[in-house]
Structures are given as structure tokens and as C-alpha cells.
Structure 1
Amino acid sequence: MKRFYLVLTFVMLSLFISSNSVFAESKSELNEKINGLEEEKSQIDEEANGIKSKVNETDEKIAENQGEQKETKNEIEEIDSDLESTQAQLKAKQDEIATTNNKIAETEDEISKTESEIEKLKEEIEELKEEIKQLEEKIAAREELLKNRLRAIQQNGGNTSYLEVILGAQSFGDFINRATAVTKIMDSDKKIMEEQQSDKEKLEESKLTVEANKKEVEEKQVALEENKEELEGTKASLVAQQQELNQIKSTLDQQKSNKQSLMAELETEEEELHEIKLSAQEEQQLLNAQAANIQKAIAQAEKEKQKIDQLAKQEAQKSQEQGSSSSSQTSASNGGNRDFIKPTTGRVTSHFNPNRLHPIYNVVRPHNGTDFGWRASGASNIKASASGVVSYAGWMGGYGNTIMITHSINGKTYATLYAHLSSIHVSSSQSVSQGQQIGVMGSTGSSTARHLHFEIHAGGYKNPVNPMNYLN
């Protein structure tokens, strides 16, 4: 139900209670009015129950939302834990890859050194081959010499001996010469044989050395190549594991981002649900106030019925005079100043703005009134902007301590609202005069500093207009 209807009905009821016009109504009219009021109260009670159900339903949604937030928060914490573990594994893999890269670099250095050694060995092998060739040539030459000597011995019949050569000397000097010559020949033959044997041994040793060195270098090269290949395989495996961990991390980051977005949506939804709940509670408060006023109106009407019964026993003329007096009182009660005055002497700190950025929630929301700031020189007292009836006095969500007054000016209904008060000096259903103090400026509800938020609604609540266009 629109609040305009609530406030308008409330005004009419309040005027009914404060008026003495009922004295002029008949008993049947009062019965009809009582029945109508009871029917309206029943409707309001039904609507209030509906709003209560809405509040309960909103509470359930808030509890469900908070449960989802808790679950989402736990999921984010789990993802954070997985991320931390994945980060640690990634660090370990990166360290392993770095170590493997170092080993590969060392192996490549060893391979490079080995290749240099191989080149050097090749040069040495070539030198050895040349040496072997020379040895083989020497050995072949000696063998040819030895063959010639053997051939010469065979041609001489093999009877010549070094002893005969010595004994054939003609003189002692010849003997000495012959002995020396034989000795040289024997030494030469011995040396040739020894050199031949030494060169053969050296040749075999060189060949073995060449083969051994060649085999050692080749084996070392094969081992290094195998080691390098193994390290490359290890590195490839580690890189694949790192890529897998990076993919896991990317997935976890995305999941965390999604959960954080969901959390933000849930928090926004919770704020909206709280606002819906506050709005419903405010409407319920207005309905309860209206129902209470209807009940007062019914009680007042019942009293008036009793008065009519008493008046019926009196003279018709006296009853007529009382009705005339009542009519004049009613007329007086509906009078009053039709203009609005400033509710406080504070300066304007924020104007009426349908698209203002909210200073607390940081979202664009309509600012349906004018804010007056506090100052030490008496700006804390809040006055009724026009004469009327208090339709609401109490706490109202983000407005904090709030007073709402309904006014009937030039046949049109208005509502004024005074929010963020530190204290309230009036109560619901109370009639107030223009300029009467109704409260004290404060900073209750959603407020950043002490000030008065003042609204004027033309035609009833929920029809905000710029207050500055209506104030004297």
C-alpha cells in the first residue's frame, strides 16, 4: 500500500479525533463511521500482517544470504590454501628447474671440454700415428739390414766367426784393430736388435695408448651425451609440471576471482535486503500508528454516541446550539498558517538532488530533502515547519530518530519529515503549531555529522519536492 494513502488516512483520522464536529452527527452516522473505521482497521491489520510476513521472509533471505556468504568465505579460504600450496610447489619446481639448468650448463661445459680434449687427442693420435709410421719404417729398415746380414752369412757358408777374424791377425796391432772392429760389429748388431725390440715394444705401447685414449674419450663423450639427454628429459618433465601447476594456479585464481565477485554480489544483496527490511519495518510502523489512531477514533466515536444519547434527552434548541458551537470550533481547528518556515537556523549544507552520490554508501541515490548544518548559536533546536498533526515519531532505519508531520493547507495534504534527530519532543497523534520545538538536531542513523535532513512531500509521503521552493 502506498504511503501516501497511509499518511492521508492518518491525517484525516487525526483531524477527526481533534475536531468537535461529531457532536453534530447523528447516532446512525456515528455507527456507520465506526463500522467504516473498524473495516479500515481490519484492512490495515491485514496489511500489517502481510508486511510482517514480508519482514520475516526478508529475515529468512538475509539468513540464507549470510549462510551463502559464510560458505563462499570458507571456499575462498580453501582456494587461498590451495593457492599457497600451489605457489610453494611452483617455487620448488622453479628451484628444481634452475638446478637442472645449472647441471645442464655444467654438463655442456664438460662436453665442450671433452670435445676439446678429443680434438687434442686426435692431434696426439695423429702424432702417434706419425711416430708409429716412423717406427714401422725404422723397424722395416732394420729388418732389411738384418736380412741382408743373414743373407751374407748364408752366402759365406756360415763358417765365418768373429773368433777366426781375431785369430787371423798378423800382429798385435792388427789383433787390437780386429778385436775392436769385431766388438763394434757385435755392439752394432746388439744395438740394432735392442732398438728393434724397443721400437717394436714402443710401437705396440703406442698403439695400445692410442686405442685406450680413444676409447676413454669416446666413452666419456657418450656418457656426457647420455647425461645431457637425461637432464634435458628431466628439465622437460619439470617444465611440463610447472606448466601444469601454472594452469592449476590460473584456475584457482579464476575461481577465487569468481568467488570474490559472488561475495561482493551477496554483500550488495544483503545490503539491499536490509534496506527492504527497514523499508517494510518503517511501513509497518506507519500502519501500526494508523491502526492505533483508528482505534482512538473508534473510542472517540463511541464516547460521542453516548453524548448524543444524553443530548437527545435535552431540549432540541439546546442540542441545536451545541451543534452550531461545534461547527464553529471545527472551522477554527482547520485554520492556521498555510506557509512553511525554515525548521532551523542552520545554513544549508546539502541541497535537494535526485542524483546525489551517497556520502556513506558511495552510490548514486536521490537526496529527497535539504540538509541544514549545526552551529553553536542555537541551530540545534528543530521547529515544526507548519501546523499539523504528528503522524510518526520514532526510529526509522537510516533516518535515525525521525518525526513526520502531516499538514492540510489550502485543501491539499503535505507531509514534512525531520531526520537524524538526537532527541524527539513530540509523540504520534499530537497536534503541533508552526514554530513549535519538536526535537533537537543530531547525527543518528546513516549520518556523517550532526545535521537536520528536512523533507517536504506534496500530496503525502513518497512525493518529495524541493523544500527550498516552499520555505519562506
Structure 2
Amino acid sequence: MRKQSKWKLQVLAIATSGALLFTGPSALANSLDDLKGQQREIQQKKNSINSNIKETEGKINQNESKIDQIMAQIQALDTEILATEKNISNVLNEIKKTTDEIETLKASIVELERKIEERDKLLKERIRAVQVSGGSVSYLDVLLGANSFVDFIDRFSAVNTLMEADRTILKEQADDKKQLEEERASLEKKLAEQEESKNKLVNLKSSLDKQKASKGTLVDQLEAEQAKLLEQKKGFETEYDEVLNIDADLQNKIVAEQKRLAEVARKAAEEKKRKAAEERKRQQSASGSSVAIPEVSSGAWTKPANGTFTSGYGYRMHPIYGKGKMHYGVDFANSTGTPVVSAADGVVSYASPLSTYGNVIMVTHSIDGQTFTSLYAHLSKINVSVGQVVSKGDKIGAIGTTGNSTGPHLHFEIHVGNWEGMTANSVNPLRYISI
């Protein structure tokens, strides 16, 4: 999947380069939007890859935590195995010691068995002696056969000695046999217990070894998965770097395209200005006057018409009514038909006769966030319509003498804001235009 994604990115890069290298002028008009669209796609791809990287990092951290836990368990098992091996060694030493004791006991048993055998022979000889004497001799007969009291005492002493010897022999024989059985039983029991303990410890160690092997296998699996995740993360990071390179390349192309469009706009403005100048010259040539269309000045405003400045803004003696009256604009006298141009960029908001103004055009302007309205009166012609967008210096009408006028001239007003009558918001136009 990563290879397919990488292939798509490479195709996108090639397509982007191709769009800039081989498109014609008509296609270039949309190239900036296309580049920005591609940049948005690249950003989405970057976000997706970054999300994959974070998800993989999370899995790596989880795996690392599992490995640490299992390694801790393995270390605990190692400690337990070492303790068990030590216990097994101790038990084996005890078994060896017990085995040595048994070997020693066997030697003692051999000696004891020899003594028992000798006593058995002695007892058998005593029995045989009794049998030889007829079998009727008893200790009482021996005593009664005494010839005198002294002989009786001697015989009694001898009988006692014999009887004591017999008792001693019998007791020793019984004690030795009992001791033999007890020691043999004790050692055999001890040896059996030690063997059982050894078997338990051996089984415990076997179980621990199996657990350790199982844990080791799990660690191997986790480490293999960890290596796979790290490789996957590395792949995502490589892909992210590739996307970054493409994104940077797109950014450079967007910057270049914006510069190109700015240059196109600049050239278009120059071409427009050149054509306007040619049109003014043409009109000047057609009218036979060298001052037909005013030269467009720099800045936001320009002079609306060529001609003689005949009246300024303020109180004056009215030429018709013959008394002092406020003049809310400025007048430029020239021949009928002399071109009138828009004093600034704007939108035509009125184009029709208006009371004593005669034929009137009003243009609404937005300059540096401020709204202005310019008014052009007494026109002989209206060449624009309401809603039409006009640029500074565009011809909109012609000087005339319509309305209350004593001769062909342009009456020009500027109002701050919208036009709400002659007296509202009017300002001296010479603040903005030159004569």
C-alpha cells in the first residue's frame, strides 16, 4: 500500500511539473487554483501519514512495555531457577551423605550380623550340650547335686553366672537385631524422603525451564513484531519526507505562479493604460483639440475634464440669479462634446437627467475604506449605465449645457459618503484633484 501511495505522489509531482511546463496561456489562468488544490491534497496526505506514524509509535511503545514486563518475568524465573538448582544441589549432597551413611551402616550391619551369627553358634552349642547330657539336666539339678553348702554356693554362683550370660547373650542378640532394623528403616526412610524432595525440585526446575522457554519465545515474537513496526515507521517517515519535498516544490511553484500572475496583472494594467492613452489621443485627434481628454494623474483621483477653470467651491455671485449663492462644486468650461472621465475607480450609481443639473452621472467610489460620490452635471452625453464598473480616466460622458447653464461646461462635485442632495456631505473637489 505504501508503494502505491508513493507511486501516486510521484505521478502527482510529474503532473504538477507538466501542468506548469506544457500548458498554454488559457490554462495558466487556472494553474494557481490547481496548485493550491494539489497542495491541499498533499496536506491531507501529510496528516494521514503523520497519523499513521503516531499510531505505529503507539504500537511500538505498547510492544516495548510488553517486552519489558516479560523480561522482568524471565529475570524472576531465572532467580527462581537458580534457587531451585541450589536446592537440588543441596538435596543431592544430602542424598550422597545419606548414601555414605548407608554404606557405613552396611559395614556395621556386616559386623553386627557376624556377632549375631557367633551368638547363634554359642546358643546352639549350649543347646547341644544340654541335649548331650540327656536333656534332663537343669539349673535346679545342678544345685541339688551339691555335696556341701560350700559346693552349693559355688554351684549357685556358677548357675547364676551361666544364667546371666545367657540373658546377656539373648538381650544383646535382641538389641542388636532391633538396632539393625531401626537404623536400616531410618536410613531408608531418609533416603526415600530425599529422593522425593529431589524429584519435586527436578520437576519444579523442568517447569520453570519450560516457562522460561515459553517467555523467551514470546519475547522473540514481540521483538520480531517490534522490528516490523520500526521498519513500517521508517517507511512512513520516508514517505512523509517525500511528501514534504513535493509540498515544498508545490509551495515554490505557487509562489512562482503568484509572481507570474502579479506580473501578468502589471502588464495588463500597463496595456490598459496604454490603450486608454491611445483612445484619448484618438478622441483628441477626432475632435481636433489637443486637450479633449485630460491626462490621468497618479494617485486615487484625476481631473474629470480638460477646460478652463471658471468657478470654484464656495460663495459666489450666481450667473443666472444675480445674487450671492453657495457653489457646491467646481466648473470647467470647454466646447460641447469634450470628453468627461471618471475621477476615480468606482461604480456608476446614477445616469440620468436631474432637476437643474441637466444630464447627470454619479459614480460611487471606495477609497482606503472610505466611500465617496462624484457628480458630473450639465452633460451633453451619458455614455455609461447604472451598475457599470468604471476605472479612473474612463470616458463616461461629454461636456454640455443641459439644465440651468449659461454655456457648455462641466459642473463637478465630490461628496463624502453617498449623495444625499447638493448640500449634504459636499467637500471642495480641489482637495482631491488638480486643475
TM-score (norm 1): 0.54
Report deviation, 1:227: 1.6
Q: Deviations over 1:298-350 (max 9, x none)?
A: 22222222222234xx9xxxx9xxxxxxxxxxxxxxxxxxxxxxxxxxxxxxx
Counterpart residue type for residue 195 of structure 1: E
Number of the residue aligned with 2:117? 140
Q: Deviations over 1:160-215 (max 9, x none)?
A: 11111122222322222211211111111111111111111222222222322222
Report deviation, 1:50: 2.9
**Residue 267 (1) aligns with residue 244 (2):** yes
- Given the superposition, is the C-alpha separation of residues 178 and 285 from structure 1 closer, same or farther in structure 2, using an over 3 Å criterion? same
Correspondence 1:42-441 to 2 at 5 A? 50-311=27-288
Supply the distance in 1 between the matched residues of 2:29 and 2:203 (Cα, whole angstroms).
81
Supply the distance in 1 between the matched residues of 2:273 and 2:106 (Cα, whole angstroms).
131
SS in 2 for 1:56: helix
Supply the distance in 2 between the matched residues of 1:310 and 1:61 (Cα, whole angstroms).
55
Q: Which runs of 5+ in 2 are unaligned?
A: 1-22, 291-435
Report deviation, 1:94: 0.8
SS in 2 for 1:309: helix
SS in 2 for 1:219: helix
Supply the distance in 2 between the matched residues of 1:226 and 1:154 (Cα, whole angstroms).
64
Supply the distance in 1 between the matched residues of 2:152 and 2:229 (Cα, whole angstroms).
112
Supply the distance in 2 between the matched residues of 1:172 and 1:156 (Cα, whole angstroms).
24
Report deviation, 1:277: 0.6
Question: Does the aligned pair in 2 maintain the 1:51–1:284 contact within 8 Å?
Answer: no
Supply the distance in 2 between the matched residues of 1:48 and 1:176 (Cα, whole angstroms).
160
Report deviation, 1:100: 0.8
- Given the superposition, is the C-alpha separation of residues 63 and 163 from structure 1 closer, same or farther in structure 2, using an over 3 Å criterion? same
Supply the distance in 1 between the matched residues of 2:31 and 2:123 (Cα, whole angstroms).
130
Supply the distance in 2 between the matched residues of 1:174 and 1:263 (Cα, whole angstroms).
130
Report deviation, 1:88: 0.9
Which of the pair has more CA radius of gyration? Answer: 2
SS in 1 for 2:30: helix
Supply the distance in 2 between the matched residues of 1:194 and 1:276 (Cα, whole angstroms).
120
SS in 2 for 1:66: helix
Q: Deviations over 1:52-92 (max 9, x none)?
A: 42111111111111111111111111111111111111111
Aligned length: 269
Supply the distance in 2 between the matched residues of 1:120 and 1:211 (Cα, whole angstroms).
13
Counterpart residue type for residue 232 of structure 1: D
Supply the distance in 1 between the matched residues of 2:264 and 2:24 (Cα, whole angstroms).
8
Report deviation, 1:93: 1.0
Supply the distance in 1 between the matched residues of 2:51 and 2:100 (Cα, whole angstroms).
72
Question: Does the aligned pair in 2 maintain the 1:65–1:270 contact within 8 Å?
Answer: yes
Q: Which runs of 5+ in 1 are unaligned?
A: 1-45, 320-472
TM-score (norm 2): 0.59
Report deviation, 1:48: 6.5
Supply the distance in 2 between the matched residues of 1:308 and 1:52 (Cα, whole angstroms).
37
Counterpart residue type for residue 103 of structure 1: E
Counterpart residue type for residue 163 of structure 1: L
Report deviation, 1:220: 2.1
Q: Deviations over 1:100-137 (max 9, x none)?
A: 11111111111111221121111101011111111211
- Given the superposition, is the C-alpha separation of residues 202 and 52 from structure 1 closer, same or farther in structure 2, using an over 3 Å criterion? farther
Counterpart residue type for residue 173 of structure 2: Q
Counterpart residue type for residue 109 of structure 1: K
Supply the distance in 2 between the matched residues of 1:68 and 1:88 (Cα, whole angstroms).
30
Report deviation, 1:265: 2.1
Counterpart residue type for residue 97 of structure 1: I
Supply the distance in 1 between the matched residues of 2:215 and 2:173 (Cα, whole angstroms).
62
Supply the distance in 1 between the matched residues of 2:275 and 2:67 (Cα, whole angstroms).
79
Supply the distance in 2 between the matched residues of 1:277 and 1:189 (Cα, whole angstroms).
129
Supply the distance in 1 between the matched residues of 2:97 and 2:189 (Cα, whole angstroms).
15
Aligned-pair Cα RMSD in Å: 2.1
Counterpart residue type for residue 51 of structure 1: L
Supply the distance in 2 between the matched residues of 1:69 and 1:175 (Cα, whole angstroms).
131
> Which structure would you say has the larger RCO, counting Cα contacts within 8 Å and 6 or more residues apart?
1
SS in 1 for 2:175: helix
Question: Does the aligned pair in 2 maintain the 1:69–1:266 contact within 8 Å?
Answer: yes
Question: Does the aligned pair in 2 maintain the 1:48–1:284 contact within 8 Å?
Answer: no
Structure 1 runs of 4+ off > 4 angstroms? 46-49
Counterpart residue type for residue 223 of structure 1: K
Number of the residue aligned with 2:337? none
Supply the distance in 2 between the matched residues of 1:58 and 1:143 (Cα, whole angstroms).
121
